[in-house]
Amino acid sequence: MEDGTPLCKSCSVISQSRLTFQIKYEQLPSFSEVFAAGTAAALVPIKSITRNSRNETFSYIPADSEEPGPIFVKLLTTLKGIQAGKIKDTFGWNSVIEQVDIKKYTAGETTNGVNGKSVDALP
């Protein structure tokens, strides 16, 4: 992936701030792909959007398919690659977690919480 691609420009915008924007209903037919983003599910492809009051449905994934489009696949692959450390994190999304020396937080005994002793000896 090259830094000049629209995908990389989008990633840069996403990393700098929360995206809050509104899509006009009239724009829906012009999109080739639609997906939602969140913290738990990462990215979810949207198969179609229906407006019952107008009896209109805009489809983004064919009815006989469950496969998302190429932009979704590329973005999700990039996101998961960054999360897994396989793609360089140029956005500062990841943090290194160092191993804790357990001896600093225990009295030297192993306990399972039996006989009123606490399971955690953390301060």
Name 119's Cβ contacts closer than 8 Å, sequence gap at least 6. 111, 112, 113
Give 37 or 81, the one with higher predicted confidence: 81
pLDDT per position as a tens digit, 19-30: 566 788 899 999
Q: What gap in Å lies between CA 27 and CA 98, rounded to an integer?
A: 47
**Minimal CA–CA distance to 31: which of 16, 43, 53, 47?**
47
Q: What is the pLDDT of residues 103-123, one digit of tens each?
A: 777 665 555 555 555 556 554
Per-residue model confidence as pLDDT tens digits over 57-85: 999 999 899 899 999 999 899 888 988 88
Tell me: pLDDT of 7 over 90: no
This prediction's pTM: 0.60
91 pLDDT band, cuts 50/70/90, is confident
